[in-house]
Structure 1
Amino acid sequence: MTAADRAVERVDEFVTERPVTVIAVFLLISVVAVGGIGGIETSAGADQFTQDIPAQQALDDIDEEFETSIGGSATAAQVIVTDDNVLSRPTLIRILETQDRLESRSTLRVGSTSSHADAIARRLDPTAETAAQRRDAVEEATPQELRTAINDADAAGAVAAQVSVDYNPTAQTADAAIVGITYDVPEAATTARVTGLQTRSVEVVDSVPGNDAGDNAILFGDGVLQSEITALLGDTAIIVFPAALLLILGFLVFAYRDPIDMGIGLAALLLSLLWTFGFMGYAGIPFSDSLVTVFPLLLAVGIDFGIHIVNRYREERGEGLSIAAAMRTTTDQLLIAFLLVTITTVFGLVSNVASPFEPNRDFGIVAAAGITFTLVIFGIFLPAAKVLADRWRDRLPIPAFGTTPLGSGGSRLGRALRVGVDLSRVAPVAVVVLLLVGGAIGGAYGTGVNTEFSEEAFFPNEDRLETYSNLPEPFAPTDYTFLRVLTLFEEEFEQGFVGSVTLYVDQSVRDDDALELIDRTTRNPPDTFETTEERRAASTSVVTVIEDRAARDPEFAAVVNRNDRLGTGVPDRNVDEVYEALLDSPARGQARGYLADDRGSARIDYTIRPGVDNSEAVADVRELAERTPLEAVPTGSLVVNEAVIDRLTESAIRSLIAAFALTAIFLALSYAYLEGRAVYGLLNLVPVLVTVGLLVGSMRLFSIPLTPINAPILSVSIGLGVDYTVHFVHRFVDEYKAGHAVDEALDITIAGTGGALTGSMLTTVCGLGVLWLAVIPLLQDFGLLLALGVLYAYLCSILLVPSLVVVWDRYGDRVGLGLDGGLRESTGERAD
């Protein structure tokens, strides 16, 4: 007897002789697990996948060191004001009143606010120090004075930068404007603190007469964004989890056909989820977009284990065995299969620990722990609960309901499941070749699958949100402000329509040649960059701000000319003097968008030609960073996204190879140890390869790109695929070792295990496919891929494995790898 057999015997003893003790221990552990749930935090959005990327670090530095009218650091926010004309007197007064109330409320810790109304009011009353005084200046001005002040502010460049692109200087009209807010809190302030300040700021904005927060005055900042993305994750969970449970309940009714058995199965599922949530809390792993997919996965594996236990137990009870004997036989034959399934699935999951993305690493760790908990709970707790329940049923007048295994006898399901076995007798070689070629074609076709990553990929499906808004509470989703803000940025401020890349100059720009070096980066631009009439790159930097200001301000132009020895229009000495003059001018705000306060860094934005492939533009800005003598880091959202995509492809392939190699080695060694034939382990892997090939091909066929969320699907599909083939092959090996011929062993296997596999497949496909109901498109795609992976694994186990076994039996001995070292004759007897 092997060590594995002795361990199973020990489990048999506890399950059948001490079921109450077993149940009590599991419930006690569950109480401990509850303590960890309170420590779970949430993490959502694209930021999870951009950590440790140099381009993202440079982008973070830009947010901290430079001021911009749109965006900014985590301690900044914007109020987007819309009206028929944001330059009209009533709207200017409303904006300044908003600024006054924000600055006056000390608990909000607002350090400063800025707007085009500010600039206009300063032209009316240069001595006005507060927003309230500037509001009074606008209120008291004559129409002509106000019109003149608007013209003066516009001439200084203080209006167009703050209002929408439909701004008409002649008519002095615009539909939207941005009010900038800076909070006086440390840059290291927690997200929760900033979110709290911004949330309270919304209430103050709404208190201003004429403002309707969320409609014509929308406050938006990183704090609001993060809170809404977290709410998005919660809305997804609220919709997906109940829907998954309802679907699973329906199929469990079909699979168990007995309320007591179904109750035990559900209790085991809930314990699995509880233990996994508790583990997350104690391990300090945040709940993220990626981890939403873990729980349907655990439900899938748990349902599979539960149906197999109950189905096989019923099969043995149907043979006349007692409760204890039937459960001993069941666990003897299934626990080893469960162990093989669990370990191979864990290999597929743990391979994600090698991912460069922390959410994927967390996914691998949490899912592996959850699958392990599922093995223990369904391998020990559920059999013990089933034994205890059936003993009570015998003692009490409790009626028996469904007692026959799925797919047994001459049922329609039983006849349908025999298709694979029947084909294995007629044309096994043709079946094997057809499916192997199909898998290979799918894999080859799938090599052209797209890769995708962007912040927008984590945003919800707006059509689905509108549909779900009709649901009752708590299922109705949140009214997401950031969706309207993004629409306004695109429509009113044209943010997002023009592609751009950035060079972050990470060095002091106070040397005499600093501005010249920045200017040189615009010469001889690559073909992907937009160019000016002078054949230079269309760019924005502190140099272009200086040139623009010099063209508007003769006094400033004199400072520039005095310090331009080469006559190029770019100062090449006393640059600090130029900076001081620039920052003392009305162009200060624009300059601070491209020059750090300590002048220890700068930024250069380049506009990309319309229609240019993003990867080409990113490659060009990376090359530009390498050849410039400046210490420059290429960055911008396109650069960050491209870096994620580069890591994504490499990570997915590495995880897939690691998962397959570990699984192959483990199965070969396991079957060599348990059965003395490593070939049984290899038989499990052929259907898995076909499953992976079909799945990759389906991704391209259904236009589902490879993303950070679904990247683990390839390695996970190996574990899920092995789940089905291990159950089939393990049962076949048991029957084959019992002396049955290959055909007879296949008949018994499909009759006994096929029904359980079918019930498991139906509940799993629906349990995972319910992710399609999620409001986040990435999760919809992941649910579809998981469901397809399970379906393909099931079909391969039912259709391919029987023919594969027959072909191996016929031809394996020719290479010394037969099923048992000798062929079975057509009579079913062993060859001598």
Structure 2
Amino acid sequence: MSVPDRLADIVTTHTRIVLVVLLLTTALVGAGMPMVDDDSSLDQFESESDEAKAIERIDENFTSQQRENTTSIQLIARGDNVLTKDSLVSSLEFQQELRANESINSTLVENRSITGVENVVAITAIKNEEAAELNETSARLETGLDETIGLQRQYEQLNESYENGAIDDTEYQARSSELEAQFDATVENATAGLDENQTAQYESAVQQARAIESQRYAIRSQSENPEENPEYQQLGEQLEGVYRAGTAGVLEAEYAALQSETQPPLDEQLATLENMSDAEYERILEETLSSDGSDDNAAIALMPSSYEPGSTEAETRMTLVVQSTASDGTGGMGGSAVSERITDSQLHISDLAQNQEQDYVTFGAGIITDEIDRSMGDSLAIVGPLALLFVVIALLVAYRDLLDIVLGVAGIIAVLVWTFGFMGWADIAFNQMFVAVPVLLIGLSIDYAIHVFMRHREQREADGTGGTVRGSMTIALAGVGAALVWVTATTVIGFLSNLVSPIGPIREFGVVSSVGIVAALIVFGALIPAAKIEIDEFLESRGIDRRKRAFGTGDGRFSDVLTVGSTAARRIPIVVILLVALLTAGGAYGATQVDTSFQEEDFLAESPPAWTDRLPGGMAPGEYHAKDNLEFVNDNFQRQDRQAQILAEGNVDDDEFLEAVDTARNDTANSGVAHTLATGDTDVQDPLSTMEQVAAQNESFNESFTAADTDGDGVPDENVSALYDQLFEIDDESASQVLHRTDGGEYESARLVISVDGGVTASETTSELRTIASDLEANGDGDWSTIATGDPIVSHIVEQDLLDTVLESLVITLVAVFLFLTAAYRLTGNSATLGAVTLLPVAFSVSWILGTMYLIGMPFNVLTGMITSLTVGLGVAYSIHVSARYTLELERQGNVWSALRTTVTGTGGALLGSAATTVGGFGTLAFAILPALRQFGIITGLTITYAFLASVVVLPTLLVLWTRYFGPDVSFDASDDRLAATAASDGGTELDRGGDE
């Protein structure tokens, strides 16, 4: 007895033991289902590339311009003119509403958590007023010192008159008292409104000024040219210092507060805006939004790239809300994971924005995460029931028996329990890709059921009334078991070929799918047959006949359709071969043109179609706006998550480094990759630009910066290391964003941060920046190395990894399946060449499906990128069933044409049923909310269709050719075609089944 016979006998003889063991196993494995977590972050698709490692070094060694442990949400106001005073007032009132909400306010960072044009305009007005008041006070203090100097001169003249005897003691005392009173009045007038410390500081300055002026008066009295006297000059310098201490020094805290980034309270900002006259508002608005506006053009950065600086009209502007993720251990935008706390707060912000009179677009990592998660759930809610419904309808047509349908559905549920239970025990998170797993397993699992049930029905019909349920199932399982094991093995090979992928979720998808397919073999090869035996025997013992005709057998339309392949093989084999060759060549060309894509848009749902509104409450999807909002942001603003970087490591304090950086910066500006601000400038941050900004604000650094530029080209070319040191002393935060200094004070790396235009592809960004980085490295002659990195570049690497996955998994699958089939056919007594013949139609269908992807403009993404290995894994199953049945029928009947007809009507009928259910199951993914899932459903449905057509139309011709040149010596006589012969359901010979020889 063969191994398949023994296994079949065990299952059918010990059905109750099989049921108990497998049901308990199902319960045990299924206990892992509650442990399955979900993860929609796009970061999980990144591989351990050099660019990803460079980002890790950047995170370790540099501070971010975007504050650490933060994420942000962009609130974009839209309207006819969003720069009116009423519009800005409305935005400030909206900010008050956000602040008043505790769940939102608790997530905001401490300082400048909300920044919009409305804040910058109000703060500019407030600081202008404060600056005017400070300047007025400073002028009053300076006037007081001037008056002090004048009074002191009078005092010195009085002393001189007294010493010369021009006046007596009484007059001296009177005039002296009068001058002292004037001194006191001067101080009192100058210090009006100052606190005690400031008054004391000013009084000290007044006393110092009097003392210095007294000495200067004495020198002037004794010299005709006092200005040439060194002591007099020194006293003049001291007097200047006293003036500074008595004016700016007294008001130092106020001036520091004026330069502080701390925002005035919202109430004060709102009151300032509301109380401004129209003329004053227009003036402040123009000042704020001009190309040389205050606050380092902070307001300009919040305007769309199409905005004309200085204009008082615009259709859109942005407010940036910065939230802290420090307590969550997460952060970032787009693909970076955010916590539930941040997601909930951003959703709340979005809800409040929709209730404002002003139209707002909201865009943030939490909103994207929510939409991806919801689209995953909504997709499952729609396609899951639809897939089951389609399978039930298909089984109604194929089975025409309620009990078999129930058993089939129960088996599918058991397979899903095994699969998701395994995910829980293996700690594999449910991500965007795994939405396809239930549909995949529903479609593939039912194939096993159809083949087992149809073969069982054929055998029961062949056994007649003398046969038993248990005996027929034993023969059916033995006959179809080997083919099912082969199908499982080749399908698992196809899925496990994804283990070569550097992308973690793709590897996990391959493992989970493989586990699901093995579970399907166990469930439909043992659990469901055992249950069917027990139930059918119970019913037949009560007089209910359970014999049913197998789908596709007998005469009828399906039989006629299924014989197309065998007829073509007999009449026009050359035509079939030529057509296949032509289609395959065209598909191969198209395969080389298929694009690869990995971007957020692949995972963002569009607005659901109108028909979904009529779905029941549990299936109806929600609203989706992130994709449209993302497009709007890309077209108008700089996205917070679109930054590329060039990391330079080595002697970055070399005197030639800044010259090389300047060249790289100019190349970046001319590349078309960097985002262009409304001012026309590109948004690039680097050591040189940082020093230029600091030099514009700090006089001492500007002197050093200018002195280090010996050739006058605006770029320092000597004493670069000392310049770096001074930069860190003056503005450590800004310096740390672009330079890495070790604890020993050495400079080891620097970076350029490029804000990338949202409309530029990851491929274009990568190509341009790698060229610029390469040129920057070449300019160093080995003194420093460079690497281009950042989110767009890492995304492009994922695209390349996807393409590598497509090619590598295809080659591995084809080679592994070829070796498996040739070995399997050789070991079972057939020619090894049959393995190649069986695989050849699958190779054809791979070419066809890739050509189809090119024709319909479908790219490789994280799901469709697995289509090649999936095509081989799924397609070979159809070919194996046909080849296995053909060889067995050929041995039994001895005639090519009758064996071929029996194969395509018997096994072909089962294949048609399984293909219909699988295509229908995957076809339901076309109704998914996730775009990538829709594409995967469409292309996989076509894959199944091509595989089925290849197996029943192309493979018969190849089998005939194989039989003629490599197969057994059988009859090719069409007149000896025993078309009416009844085949044993397993395709075996009557001798094998105990008949007379």
The TM-score with structure 2 as length reference comes to: 0.73
What residue number does 1:627 align with? 778
What residue number does 2:260 align with? none
What residue number does 1:561 align with? 706
What residue number does 1:816 align with? none
Are 2:815 and 1:675 equivalent residues in the alignment? no
Name the CA distance, whole Å, in 1 between partners of 2:492 and 2:673.
50
What residue number does 2:474 align with? 328
**Residues 215-273 of structure 1: CA deviation (Å, up to 9, x unaligned):** 74555432332232222222222222122112111111101100011111111111111
Deviating more after overlay: 138-147 vs 289-298: 138-147
Deviating more after overlay: 183-192 vs 44-53: 183-192
Partner of 2:298: helix, strand, or coil?
coil
What are the equivalent positions in structure 2 for 1:631-780 lying under 5 Å apart? Answer: 631-738=785-892, 740-780=894-934
Name the CA distance, whole Å, in 1 between partners of 2:440 and 2:924.
11
What residue number does 2:509 align with? 363
Name the CA distance, whole Å, in 2 between partners of 1:828 and 1:87.
87
CA deviation after TM superposition for structure 1 residue 305, in Å? 1.2
Are 2:536 and 1:395 equivalent residues in the alignment? no
263, 271, 274: which one pairs with 2:417?
274
CA deviation after TM superposition for structure 1 residue 420, in Å? 1.6
What residue number does 2:36 align with? 40
What residue number does 1:459 align with? 604
What residue number does 1:605 align with? 754
What residue number does 1:482 align with? 626
**Residues 525-565 of structure 1: CA deviation (Å, up to 9, x unaligned):** 79855899xxx996723434655786799898656435534
Name the CA distance, whole Å, in 1 between partners of 2:317 and 2:614.
30
Partner of 1:711: helix, strand, or coil?
helix
What residue number does 2:549 align with? 404
Name the CA distance, whole Å, in 1 between partners of 2:779 and 2:793.
18
Name the CA distance, whole Å, in 1 between partners of 2:792 and 2:568.
52
Aligned pair in 2 of structure 1 residues 140, 205: CA closer, same or farther (>3 Å)?
Answer: farther
Name the CA distance, whole Å, in 1 between partners of 2:535 and 2:529.
10
- The residue identity in structure 1 corresponding to 2:25 is I
Aligned pair in 2 of structure 1 residues 325, 499: CA closer, same or farther (>3 Å)?
Answer: closer
**Residues 278-326 of structure 1: CA deviation (Å, up to 9, x unaligned):** 1111111112222222322222221211111111111111121221221
Check whether the contact 2:69–2:326 (CA below 8 A) recurs between aligned residues: no
Check whether the contact 1:296–1:768 (CA below 8 A) recurs between aligned residues: yes
Name the CA distance, whole Å, in 2 between partners of 1:557 and 1:147.
34
CA deviation after TM superposition for structure 1 residue 51, in Å? 3.6
What residue number does 2:573 align with? 428
Are 2:394 and 1:251 equivalent residues in the alignment? yes
What residue number does 1:312 align with? 455
11, 14, 18: which one pairs with 1:18?
14
What residue number does 2:119 align with? 118
What residue number does 2:107 align with? 108
Partner of 2:300: helix, strand, or coil?
coil
Partner of 2:754: helix, strand, or coil?
strand
Name the CA distance, whole Å, in 1 between partners of 2:278 and 2:730.
31
Q: What is the percent sequence identity of the aligned residues?
A: 27
CA deviation after TM superposition for structure 1 residue 136, in Å? 4.0
Are 2:327 and 1:181 equivalent residues in the alignment? no
- The residue identity in structure 2 corresponding to 1:446 is A
Name the CA distance, whole Å, in 2 between partners of 1:468 and 1:622.
49
Aligned pair in 2 of structure 1 residues 425, 239: CA closer, same or farther (>3 Å)?
Answer: same
Name the CA distance, whole Å, in 2 between partners of 1:311 and 1:607.
59
Name the CA distance, whole Å, in 2 between partners of 1:555 and 1:471.
70
CA deviation after TM superposition for structure 1 residue 382, in Å? 1.6
Name the CA distance, whole Å, in 1 between partners of 2:523 and 2:338.
41
Are 2:512 and 1:372 equivalent residues in the alignment? no
Check whether the contact 2:923–2:941 (CA below 8 A) recurs between aligned residues: yes
CA deviation after TM superposition for structure 1 residue 213, in Å? 6.8
Check whether the contact 1:699–1:785 (CA below 8 A) recurs between aligned residues: yes
Name the CA distance, whole Å, in 2 between partners of 1:244 and 1:693.
27
- The residue identity in structure 1 corresponding to 2:929 is V
Name the CA distance, whole Å, in 2 between partners of 1:379 and 1:639.
48
CA deviation after TM superposition for structure 1 residue 760, in Å? 1.0
Aligned pair in 2 of structure 1 residues 510, 167: CA closer, same or farther (>3 Å)?
Answer: same
Deviating more after overlay: 291-300 vs 650-659: 291-300
Name the CA distance, whole Å, in 2 between partners of 1:450 and 1:537.
33
Unpaired runs of 5+ in structure 1? 813-818
CA deviation after TM superposition for structure 1 residue 513, in Å? 5.8
Aligned pair in 2 of structure 1 residues 546, 669: CA closer, same or farther (>3 Å)?
Answer: same
What residue number does 2:561 align with? 416
Name the CA distance, whole Å, in 2 between partners of 1:189 and 1:524.
34
Check whether the contact 1:19–1:388 (CA below 8 A) recurs between aligned residues: yes
**Residues 30-67 of structure 1: CA deviation (Å, up to 9, x unaligned):** 22233211111223364332242343455677789565
163, 169, 178: which one pairs with 2:303?
163
Name the CA distance, whole Å, in 2 between partners of 1:81 and 1:508.
43
- State the number of aligned residues: 805
CA deviation after TM superposition for structure 1 residue 132, in Å? 4.0
Are 2:226 and 1:75 equivalent residues in the alignment? no
**Residues 729-785 of structure 1: CA deviation (Å, up to 9, x unaligned):** 111222233353222322322232121111111111111122122223322222122
Deviating more after overlay: 251-260 vs 481-490: 481-490
**Residues 193-212 of structure 1: CA deviation (Å, up to 9, x unaligned):** 733135236546866xx873
Partner of 1:110: helix, strand, or coil?
coil
Deviating more after overlay: 678-687 vs 601-610: 601-610
What residue number does 2:431 align with? 288
- The residue identity in structure 2 corresponding to 1:249 is V
CA deviation after TM superposition for structure 1 residue 275, in Å? 0.8
Aligned pair in 2 of structure 1 residues 165, 692: CA closer, same or farther (>3 Å)?
Answer: closer
Aligned pair in 2 of structure 1 residues 184, 272: CA closer, same or farther (>3 Å)?
Answer: closer
Aligned pair in 2 of structure 1 residues 214, 343: CA closer, same or farther (>3 Å)?
Answer: farther
What residue number does 1:262 align with? 405
Deviating more after overlay: 557-566 vs 292-301: 557-566
CA deviation after TM superposition for structure 1 residue 473, in Å? 2.4
Aligned pair in 2 of structure 1 residues 516, 619: CA closer, same or farther (>3 Å)?
Answer: closer
What are the equivalent positions in structure 2 for 1:340-359 lying under 5 Å apart? Answer: 340-359=486-505
What residue number does 2:370 align with? 227
Check whether the contact 2:69–2:325 (CA below 8 A) recurs between aligned residues: no
- The residue identity in structure 1 corresponding to 2:398 is A
Name the CA distance, whole Å, in 1 between partners of 2:486 and 2:452.
15
Partner of 2:495: helix, strand, or coil?
helix
What are the equivalent positions in structure 2 for 1:776-815 lying under 5 Å apart? Answer: 776-812=930-966
Aligned pair in 2 of structure 1 residues 440, 189: CA closer, same or farther (>3 Å)?
Answer: closer
Aligned pair in 2 of structure 1 residues 804, 580: CA closer, same or farther (>3 Å)?
Answer: closer
Aligned pair in 2 of structure 1 residues 490, 825: CA closer, same or farther (>3 Å)?
Answer: closer
Aligned pair in 2 of structure 1 residues 63, 211: CA closer, same or farther (>3 Å)?
Answer: farther
What residue number does 1:570 align with? 715
Check whether the contact 1:350–1:365 (CA below 8 A) recurs between aligned residues: yes
Aligned pair in 2 of structure 1 residues 482, 444: CA closer, same or farther (>3 Å)?
Answer: closer
Aligned pair in 2 of structure 1 residues 523, 205: CA closer, same or farther (>3 Å)?
Answer: closer
Deviating more after overlay: 411-420 vs 514-523: 514-523
Check whether the contact 2:108–2:324 (CA below 8 A) recurs between aligned residues: yes
